[in-house]
């Protein structure tokens, strides 16, 4: 079946540091890939997505590129802020849009001053 593997956290960075959160996947066919963010006490919010190979999703300074050859969708941000502290989930959907999602275990990011 489909699966998503994320790097374990927590990840602790100083403000303005570079962020990478690794995500790899296993799926049949050509899934769509997503990053969701969960701020403390809140539900999940879609951060960005990519629906086909070589697509780059971007939002709020975050970006991730759909790499079919390495089955990866790593999340990056050039300069993190304290407000980026949250849990980040990588997910895939094998039905095009974000319907039935398979999630990774989530990576907690803590950004300090």
Partner 1 sequence: GAVVSQHPSWVICKSGTSVKIECRSLDFQATTMFWYRQFPKQSLMLMATSNEGSKATYEQGVEKDKFLINHASLTLSTLTVTSAHPEDSSFYICSARDWRMNTEAFFGQGTRLTVV
List interacting residues with partner 1 (CB under 8 A). 36, 42-46, 49, 89, 96-106
Closer residue to partner 1 (CB): 42 or 69: 42
Residue 110: partners with Cβ closer than 8 Å, 6 or more residues away: 10, 11, 12, 13, 85
Closer residue to partner 1 (CB): 102 or 110: 102
Q: For tokens 């959907």, name the residue.
A: 93
Q: How far is the CB of 102 from partner 1 (least distance, A)?
A: 8
Closer residue to partner 1 (CB): 65 or 103: 103
Q: How far is the CB of 78 from partner 1 (least distance, A)?
A: 25
Q: How far is CA 24 from CA 34, 56, 64, 68, 71, in A?
A: 12, 15, 12, 10, 6
Q: How far is the CB of 103 from partner 1 (least distance, A)?
A: 4
Q: How far is the CB of 18 from partner 1 (least distance, A)?
A: 25
In this structure, is the dihedral angle defined by the CA atoms of residues 72, 48, 99 and 22, taken in order, positive or negative?
Answer: positive
**How far is 10 from 102, CA to CA, in rounded Å?**
21
């Amino acid at each position: 079946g489909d699966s998503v593997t994320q790097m374990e956290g927590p990840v602790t960075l100083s403000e303005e540091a570079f962020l990478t959160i690794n995500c790899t996947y296993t799926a049949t066919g050509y899934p769509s890939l997503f990053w969701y963010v969960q701020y403390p006490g809140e539900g999940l919010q879609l951060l960005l997505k990519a629906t086909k190979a070589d697509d780059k999703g971007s939002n709020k300074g975050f970006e991730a590129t759909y790499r079919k050859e390495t089955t990866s969708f790593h999340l990056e941000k050039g300069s993190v802020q304290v407000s980026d502290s949250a849990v980040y989930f990588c997910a895939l959907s094998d039905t095009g849009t974000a319907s039935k999602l398979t999630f990774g275990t989530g990576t907690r990011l803590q950004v300090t001053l």
